[in-house]
Amino acid sequence: MMTTKTTRVVLLLLALCVSAFAQDPNLLLSTLPAGKDPQRYKGYIEPQFKAVTQRSLYLTMRDGAKIAVTVVLPKDLPAAQKIPAILAMTRYWRARQGGEPNAFIPAHGYALVFVDARGTGASYGVWKAPFTQDEVRDYSEVVNWIIAQPWSNGKVGAIGSSYTGNTALWLASTMNPAVKAVIPRHYEFDIYAETAYPGGLLTDWVVKTWNEGNRQLDTNPGVRLVDEDVDQKLYQEAIKRRGENLDVYAAALKTTFRDDRAFGYALDDLSLHNYAAQIEKSNVAINNWGGWFDASTPDSIIKTFLTLKNYQRAVIGPWNHGGTQNADPYQTPSSKRAMQTYEWLRFFDHYLKGIDTGLDAEKRLFYFTIGEERWKVTDRWPVAGTQMTTWYFNENNSLTTKAPTSGEDRYTINFDATTGAKNRWHTQVGGEVVYPDRAEEDKKLLTYTSEPLTADVEITGHPIVSLFITSTHTDGAFFVYLEDVDENGKVTYLTEGELRALHRRVSNEAGKLPVPYHTFLKKDAMPLVPGQVAELKFGLQPISVLVKKGHRLRVAIAGHDKDTFIRIPADGAPAIAVQRNSRALSMIELPVIKK
């Protein structure tokens, strides 16, 4: 039986799979006051159907594996009417037994096709790793089946959040000519460097919890069976090989470098960025979504935007994983104005039905500035008007624009330091993001705080930190938090970055993001030499925030985040010294927008 905690995780994983069709349909992107948002778009067509029909069946793949799909169609669809299909492909069960599908999208003249990844749900086969080429080819074969149906207009899209968001973009990599548009939400473009090993550090709790949730899905009944499986014999046959599915956590613990193969593959082989050429060749239009407070998805969205030449309508809002919560720490009502279901319909109407819905002709990135509570749009990153401003770590734990001349600050790593159990990483397996006032937590860290700002400051982009340190150990984890301290001393989390010292070598290769590029390859490992000065230069997760006049900026440095990350080193009591002198200027560069 599932424990209460595991049941919660499983239900959250399922919610991430289906949430693409469960959002409030009355929210659209707008800078208008609450209640004044346009509720429709150019070319909008009222729902044509009031009810749906669904059937579940097996499709046989090229190697004989049977893949479970559920097809949802508008009820009473005229035989002469041809409609596009939208795919949602997942390893979190395509549907629960007895569950009813959301009728919003089919009511507008679409078919929905839900797919269990091979080796999961009711599908046969083995799930050898996330996003193997066998899995991805299955999805293309499902597309071929779709366009052969009498109701199909020959055009297919895909949508999803989390794992299902990844598969939406993976479908583009197949270059199947029937696939015209995808909406990947809250996904990974680079598995290693994003959710699993940001800065080369394993998000231990996240991967362990996700793995256990998947194991429970694989070993407990409840998934929707195919219609012909009235005695569950087909399901029992399908799950006989579940024990061969990959133990992701065990593989993750054996992985240090990007090119390790504990997963049976190098993680690049399972990452979308490695298939950029195929995605571009597909010419598939992309409407991609992420949240400022959702793990590394803002990095993922921006990497995708900068890497791919495909048409993109990219969106980064003040959200948790899946966009189900407004996680804006300033929590003003206007920050809840956001595009959701009607925007997706608008996108699909354009690309799958040929309706002019008023989309921008060129690719655009829409982003929300917290604090200012405004949506903005850009065609480039960094955005126009960005100026990197340098703040130095100075004496008396100050953060100043004047460079120091000499000194260092010693700090013994506090392994009780944490960002809590509702942080940007934990939300990856569901739940809200809530950072409490960090004033007390900061007492465990090494901090540098500015004088009160004399004017509002907009920070939009990737902050970059340069840490010159000495350490008593040959390795360590370095966490840097950017925070806002208000007039009353309340400390608000804004963003963070982390780097394992072993991976600190900066590559001459050009990364896609405007931050120092680390390969995380075994050949580039660079252990610390105890007592010898070393530089760690890395980017923080991007953010867009307006910090108000009278507030102070703070940089807080930690050596561990106990509720989320693996401990580096595993034992001992390492101490560091942050250098702040003319030969070793520790600093943070902030991307400030000049008005």
Task: Say whether 544 sits in a helix, a strand or coil.
Answer: strand
Tens of pLDDT, residues 244-278: 999 999 999 999 999 999 999 999 999 999 999 99
Q: What is the pTM of this model?
A: 0.95
Express as a percent the part of the chain with pLDDT over 90: 86
pLDDT value of position 106: 96
Question: Could you tell me which residue, 465 or 102, shows the higher pLDDT?
Answer: 465
Q: Is 350 a catalytic residue?
A: no
Averaged over 541-569, what is the pLDDT? 98
321 belongs to the catalytic site: yes
For residues 539-548, average pLDDT: 98
24, pLDDT greater than 50 = no
What's the CA angle centered on 436, arms 435 and 439, to 5 degrees? 120
Q: Which two tokens stand for residue 406?
A: 């000499």
Place 3 in a pLDDT band, splitting at 50, 70 and 90.
low
The count of other CB atoms within 10 Å of the CB of residue 376 is 16
Q: Which of 294, 328, 349, 561 is catalytic?
A: 294
Q: How far is CA 26 from CA 22, 165, 336, 346, in A?
A: 12, 22, 12, 13
- pLDDT at position 102 is 84
Catalytic residue among 123, 152, 161, 162: 162
Q: What is the pLDDT of residue 334?
A: 46
Q: Is 560 annotated in the active site?
A: no
Residue 29 is predicted with a pLDDT of: 52
Q: What percent of the chain is modeled with pLDDT above 70?
A: 92
Mean pLDDT of 135-141: 98
pLDDT per residue as tens digits for the range 213-248: 999 999 999 999 999 999 999 999 999 999 999 999
Confidence grade of residue 5 (pLDDT, cut at 50, 70, 90): low
Give the SS3 label for residue 431.
coil
DSSP reduced 3-state for 55: strand
Residue type, 459: I
Confidence of residue 543 (pLDDT cuts 50, 70, 90): very high
Work out whether strand 575-581 and strand 408-412 pair parallel, antiparallel, or are unpaired: antiparallel
Q: Tell me the C-alpha distance between 574 and 504, whole Å.
A: 18
Peptide bond into 463 cis (omega under 30): no
Going along the chain from its start, the domains and CATH numbers come out as 4-378 (3.40.50.1820), 386-593 (2.60.120.260)
Among candidate residues 321, 350, 503, 518, the one labeled active-site is: 321
